[in-house]
Structure 1
Amino acid sequence: MTPPDPPPLTVVHPGEGRTGDLGAIGVQFKLWGHDTGGALSVVEHPFPVGALVPPHLHSFEDEFSIVLEGEIGFRSGDREVVLGAGGYITKPRGEYHAMWNAGSVPARMIEIISPAGFEHFFREVSELIGDPETAAVRGPALADRYGLRFAEPDWLAGVIERYGLGTT
Structure 2
Amino acid sequence: MTVNLQGILQQPGQGSSYWVFEDLCTFKAVGEETGQAYALIEITVQPQNGPPPHIHRHEDEAFYIQEGELEFQLDEQIILAIPGTFLHSPKGQLHRFTNIGSQPAKLLCWVTPAGLEKFFMEVGVPVSEKTQLPSLSPADIKKILAAAPRYGLEIILPSAESSQV
The 5-angstrom pairing of residues 118-157 of structure 1 reads 118-127=116-125, 132=137, 135=140, 137-152=142-157
The 5-angstrom pairing of residues 91-102 of structure 1 reads 91-102=89-100
* Worse-matched range after superposition: 36-45 or 22-31: 22-31
- The 1:28–1:36 alpha-carbon spacing in structure 2 relative to 1, beyond 3 Å, is same
Q: TM-score, normalised by structure 2?
A: 0.81
The 5-angstrom pairing of residues 1-168 of structure 1 reads 7-127=5-125, 132=137, 135=140, 137-152=142-157
What's the secondary structure of 2:28's corresponding residue?
strand
Quote how far apart the aligned CAs of 1:101 are: 0.3
In the aligned structure 2, how far is the partner of 1:140 from the partner of 1:70? 28
Identity %: 30
What's the secondary structure of 1:122's corresponding residue?
helix
Alignment match, 2:131: none
For residues 115-134 of structure 1, give each alpha carbon's deviation from its aligned partner in whole angstroms, at most 9, with x where no partner exists.
00101111111149889575
Say whether the 8 Å CA contact 1:51–1:101 is kept in structure 2.
Answer: yes
Paired residue type of 1:28: T
Q: TM-score, normalised by structure 1?
A: 0.80
User: For structure 1, which runs of at least 5 residues remain unmatched after alignment?
Assistant: 1-5, 155-168
Structure number with higher helix proportion: 1
